[in-house]
Structure 1
Amino acid sequence: MGLEDDLERYREVGEERRQDLAEFIQYGDLGQSRPDEVKIPIKIVDLPEFAYDQRDMGGVGQGEGAEEGQPVGEPQPQPGDGDEDGEPGEEGGEHEYYEMDPEEFAQELDEELGLDLEPKGKKVIEEKEGDFTDMTRTGPSSTLDFERLFKKGLKRKLAMDFDREYVREALKVDGMGPSSVFEWARGENIPVSKAWLEEEYADLSSDEKTTWTSMEEMEANVEQSSTAERIRRDGVDSIPFRREDERYRYPEIIEEREKNVVVVNIRDVSGSMREKKRELVERTFTPLDWYLTGKYDHAEFVYIAHDAEAWEVDRDEFFGIRSGGGTRISSAYELAAAILEEEYPWADWNRYVFAAGDSENSSNDTEEQVIPLMEQIPANLHAYVETQPSGNAINATHAEEVERHFRESGDVAVAYVSSPEDVVDAIYTILSTEEEAQ
């Protein structure tokens, strides 16, 4: 086992020591990542190496000023070797990062939470021909499904087949004519036509028409053979094909649909949304953004900040901005509805509308404005995340009102986050609501 093997083993250990996904979401440094690249810290494992002190010019195995064979005593600590008085060091370990794209992140989060969402494609981007699995009554002869035609004809032949010799013997019974034999054959489930009986009866001589004195005598002396026995003995001489049995194969038309998604992130930036609340919003929304980016072919994001009024911001501003104004949550939904209607039609886009705040809202705004707007905006999922690190404030009722109104709805989720420990549960609440809706 050489040095290369050692290095490879240490690299494996390093990857095993990357931060657990749930721990990373709750406590990790999300700011090191980008929208298209998730960077999860790895605790660095120091690689073994040889050290050579060029200042040491003494002989091999002999300390400075010591006679040969003299014990050198206990090694003395040197400056920089460690903290004094045996106290543990306080410096954090050096870190590198395990990098994953949003698709891998979504797969791992599905495993972590026990979910597996299947996005729906909406916008048709291509139509192509698939296998020749569909059928039509007309088409070029090269696409005729002859196997199907043959089976239909064979099935009809078997249904029409009967033992002609046996029926012909019935015509030889004294006193039986075509009409009498036809009635007898119907009772025996023999599919013979009256025209055939008349033709066969006309070919019989006078002596043949009195061969048997009764039907009982004929049946006792003539053995009827089954269709299977006759086919094994004589084969199939002809198959009755009919035009109405003809079917022509043509390719199935497959629509390739692009799975597009727009995520509208709404955040309360009023004066009550202090740093801890803003951090909880970021810890909840950022993994959701990565997850949906990984799940869909094309993902776009709209960020809306609001106090008493709402305005669109970019992602960098969204998590850090703070206002001193009051709160009117409906202003954000009004803006979201306008943007979605103009730029992201429901027929072409999957939609997610996620809002977060401390549940404080102006009087009656939730019941009279926000809830009707949520009902009017078509979306795969609406979600509201309440962030209240110190517990519910007296007037923080927005989340409860939304939850109470949409309790029976399958496309609205409400989650409560009071600390980083609640973040993963909140994400599960949101995504599991989407899974149940599917």
Structure 2
Amino acid sequence: MGLRDDIERYKEVGENRRQDLSEFIQYGDLGQSRRDEVRIPIKIIDLPEFEYDRRDMGGVGQGEDGTPQPGDPVGDPEPGDEDGEDGDPGEEGGEHEYYEMDPEEFAQELDEQLGLDLDPKGKKVVEEKEGDYTDLTRTGPTGTLDFERLFKKGLKRKLAMDFDEEYVRAALRIDGWGPARVFEWARSQENLPVSRAWIENAYEELPRDERGIYADLEEMEEEVERSSTAQRIRRDGVDEVPFRREDERYRYPEIIEEREKNVVVVNIRDVSGSMRQKKRELVERTFTPLDWYLQGKYDNAEFVYIAHDADAWEVDREEFFGIRSGGGTRISSAYELAAEILDEEFPFSDWNRYVFAAGDSENSSNDTEEKVIPLMEEIDANLHAYVETQPSGNAINATHAEEVQQHFGDSDDVAVAYVSSPEDVTDAIYEILSTEENNE
């Protein structure tokens, strides 16, 4: 077994023993992961140890003063096993305790678990490359001649030109019938693709004593059995196929435009005084997997993090999930800043754009209806989403999510999700991503 086999085996074991993906999203420690590396805990199995039988309290070998006692593990202690020695818990490594996956693998597994299949669309053409030889042209190198197509064309023409030559020669044996009469009969009555020249040549080749042996057409038809094209091909085969220059087609590769799949994700969260710890944790549990998922789906992913109370400001990822304020709430301030950043740095013609917002749905009076909803309609995006985090259920003044949902209804580019506990997180992620899937 080589190194590659060892790696594959390690990966297989890790997949079997790591925490379930949905369970990890709902309850796992997301803080151990980075934006470009997802670390899922592996369930550690305690290894068995030999112990002295506790029922046997006496006999040979029962010692004191440092000798093994009932229940003690057999073997010399490893460094760090005793109190106060090096190797206290958490001081060394621990890499084996996590299964590491990149965002692409995370996205693939989340697709499988949630039954999604988001197919990101590229916008900016960055490369043109040759695909399969599926297109045809009238000229090209001999080696690219589509002979199969040429043969079919020729065979089709062969079948269209084919007729029962013996049947026509038999008509030349009718008393009083010459080439002119036979040609008229063959073309007008029998619809046979025979030329006047062929009939004249056949008549010249016919021995004189065979001319006029049939009294009329009826007698000829009784004596001569007419065969179909299929019967003749089965009997005689195909000697030649009439190829023509105009039938020639040459294969050339389809030109495929490679489009760079760029995405910018704007994450907005309420950091006002009403956003307590549980609410903040639910925001993190929802937004973090979405970031991993979209980063895994797109070639190039950029993230913008906006925090707001009554005003909005841009923050980095670390600040985004930990910051809090004691101020009021005006959600529109975040959308105003998002619109400004997107217009200046991420034009919709070149970027796939996602705008995700989360909070407890509390907002200043009339801000949702008069400002937030118009801004959501003005900001071009693949998807707008709002996630309400209310661990204790809806508060009386928590109406933002409901207002957004009532206004946009079943719109294919706006999703609203409700999260009151970790159990709701995967359902919220599904609601958001399935809306985008249907939009695609």
Q: If the TM-score is normalised by the length of the shorter chain, which range does it land in?
A: 0.7 to 0.9
Letter in 2 for 1:302: V
**Structure 1 residue 16 displacement after superposition:** 5.7
2:319 is the counterpart of 1:313:
no
Q: What residue in structure 2 maps to residue 166 of structure 1? A: 167
Aligned length: 400
Partner residue, 1:130: 131
Q: Deviations over 1:300-322 (max 9, x none)?
A: 11111122332221111111222
Q: Distance in 2 between matches of 1:161 and 1:176?
A: 23
Q: CA deviation at 1:33?
A: 1.6
Q: Separation in 1 of the partners of 2:251 and 2:407?
A: 53
Equivalent runs, 1:352-431 vs 2, <5 Å: 352-431=354-433
Contact 1:264/1:301, CA 8 A, preserved across alignment: yes
The two structures have a TM-score, normalised by structure 1, of 0.80
Residue 353 of structure 1: how far off its partner (Å): 1.2
**Counterpart for residue 80 of structure 1:** none
Write the deviation string for residues 248-305 of structure 1: whole angstroms up to 9, x where unpaired: 1111223333332211101122232232222211111111112222222222111111
Using the alignment, how far apart are the partners of 2:161 and 2:70 within structure 1? Answer: 109
Q: Assess if the C-alpha contact under 8 Å between 1:14 and 1:44 holds in 2.
A: no
Kindly state the Cα deviation for residue 60 of structure 1 after the two structures are TM-superposed. Answer: 6.3
Distance 1:207 1:111, change over 3 A: closer
CA contact (8 A) 1:14 1:43 kept: no
Which of residues 345, 348, 355 in structure 1 aligns to 2:350? 348
Equivalent residues in 2 for 1:7-406, closer than 5 Å: 18-42=18-42, 44-48=44-48, 61-64=61-64, 96-178=97-179, 180-185=181-186, 186-197=188-199, 200=202, 210-231=212-233, 235-406=237-408
2:148 and 2:265 mapped to 1: Cα distance? 52
Higher alpha-carbon deviation: 276-285 or 145-154? 145-154
Alignment correspondent of 2:4: none
Shift in CA distance, 23/140, structure 1 to aligned 2, threshold 3 Å: closer
- SS of 2:376's equivalent? helix
**Alignment partners' CA distance in 2, 1:62 and 1:208:** 127
The offset of 1:219, in angstroms, is 1.3
CA distance in structure 1 between the aligned counterparts of 2:131 and 2:43, rounded to whole angstroms: 50
**Cα deviation, residue 385, structure 1:** 0.2
CA–CA distance in 1 between the matches of 2:398 and 2:328? 13
Alpha-carbon shift at residue 145 of structure 1 (Å)? 1.8
The question of whether the paired residues in 1 share the 8 Å contact of 2:273 and 2:326 is answered with yes
Distance of 1:375 and 1:312 partners within structure 2: 22
Between the two proteins, what is the percent identity of the paired residues?
A: 81
Q: What SS does the corresponding residue of 1:224 show, helix, strand or coil?
A: coil
SS in structure 2 of the partner of residue 319 of structure 1? helix
The CA distance in 2 between the partners of 1:190 and 1:15, in whole Å, is 72
Q: 1:200 and 1:15 mapped to 2: Cα distance? A: 81
Aligned to 2:6: none
Structure 1 stretches lacking a partner, 5+ long = 1-10, 53-58, 66-72, 76-92
Q: Secondary structure at the match of 2:175?
A: coil
Is the 8 Å Cα contact of residues 51 and 70 (structure 2) preserved in structure 1?
no
Residues 12, 252 of structure 1: alpha-carbon distance in 2 compared, 3 angstrom cutoff: closer
Looking at structure 2, the residues matched to 419 and 262 of structure 1 have their Cα atoms a distance apart, in angstroms, of 28
Specify whether residues 404 and 187 from structure 1 end up closer, same or farther in structure 2 by C-alpha distance, changes over 3 A only. farther
TM-score by length of structure 2 reads 0.79
CA offsets, 1:199-251, max 9 Å, x none?
Answer: 65577788765332210111122233333454455554443222221111111
Q: Distance in 2 between matches of 1:181 and 1:197?
A: 8
Indicate the SS of the match to 2:324: coil
Secondary structure of the residue aligned to 2:157 is helix
Question: What secondary structure is seen at the aligned counterpart in 1 of 2:322?
Answer: coil
Task: Note the alpha carbon deviations across 1:32-52, whole angstroms, 9 max, x for none.
Answer: 221122223345444456799
Amino acid at match of 1:102: P
Rate the CA distance shift 1:237–1:390 in 2: closer, same or farther, 3 A. closer
Q: Is the 8 A contact 2:389 2:419 kept in 1?
A: yes
Q: Distance in 2 between matches of 1:137 and 1:260?
A: 39
SS for the counterpart of 1:210 is: coil
Evaluate the alpha carbon distance shift between residue 421 and residue 239 of structure 1 in structure 2; reply closer, same or farther with a 3 A threshold: closer
Q: Provide the alpha-carbon RMSD of the alignment.
A: 3.4
| Whole-angstrom distance in 2 between the partners of 1:148 and 1:18 | 55
> 1:132: Cα distance to partner?
1.9
